Amino acid sequence: MKTLNNVLTCSIISTFFIVGLSVPINAKEAGIYLQCGATYWRDLEIPEVIDPTELRDSPFEYEIVDSRVRPSIGVGYNFDENWGIELHYLSTPKRMLSFNQVIEPGDADDLPRTLTWRNTVQHTTYGLNVVYDVPITNNFSIFGKLGIAQTSHTVDSSITSFGRTNPAPEALYGFVEEVDTEDLFGAIGARIPLKNIFASLSFAYQFVETSDGRESSFEVAIQMKF
């Protein structure tokens, strides 16, 4: 499987460069554009746990419960072949933190109960970026993006007991903080034009500095000029 992934990666990169060096149009042109892509989230930090009270001494389990590939979208304006500005939208996969809590019986006839607490966390990011391209040839450029992102943290909490799952009571709602933050967003990548359709194909490494740490991803996107 690792060999197959390496072959596919090399094939994609080779195709990217071959097409980029053979199409006789500019990789980036002035004007309004719409960008649609797929983002693969490579590194996802474990959400920070708050209020670890005496009822929550059990080890936490962490898993990604959503696909690592998420859609991304942006709209922007290129002033020339170098400078541009862009609004973007991203969302991370859903991640779940859970732990089991054993409730000791109050009476001799009672049985111990096990409660499973779950918090499902997702980040949604809106940002404004400055984009700068460095043309290598007429039909191939490398670029960087830097901007500020508004990140919303959505947390859903639930409790499972005796096989039944219910929303957590509001007073006990969540051990992961739900807060909106302003974060640093950056990206570096390359782009090539797509022949005869006034569009370009880009591949980028990008990151968001959230309160949980740096979350990085790879994006493949098509930018369509209007």
Confidence of residue 163 (pLDDT cuts 50, 70, 90): confident
Q: Copy the structure tokens of residue 195.
A: 């022949």
Task: Let me know: does 174 contact 155? Beta carbons within 8 Å.
Answer: yes
* Predicted pLDDT of residue 182: 87
Q: Copy the structure tokens of residue 173.
A: 């709602």
What string of DSSP letters covers 166-190? EEPPGGG--SB---EEEEEEEEEEE
Q: Flag whether pLDDT at 21 surpasses 70.
A: no
Domains, in order of start, for the chain = 2-225 (2.40.160.20)
Task: Let me know: does 120 contact 96? Beta carbons within 8 Å.
Answer: yes
Confidence of residue 109 (pLDDT cuts 50, 70, 90): low
Task: End-to-end CA distance of the chain: give it in Å, rounded.
Answer: 41
* Predicted pLDDT of residue 146: 96
Indicate the helix (H) or strand (E) that contains 101. strand 95-103
pTM of the model: 0.73
Q: What is d(CA 184, CA 121) in angstroms, rounded to the nearest whole number?
A: 20
pLDDT tens by residue, 175-185: 666 678 888 99
* Beta pairing, strands 213-225 & 199-210: antiparallel
Q: Per-residue pLDDT averaged across 125-153, rounded?
A: 92
pLDDT tens by residue, 30-85: 899 999 999 999 877 777 666 555 445 567 777 888 889 999 999 999 999 899 99
* Predicted pLDDT of residue 164: 76
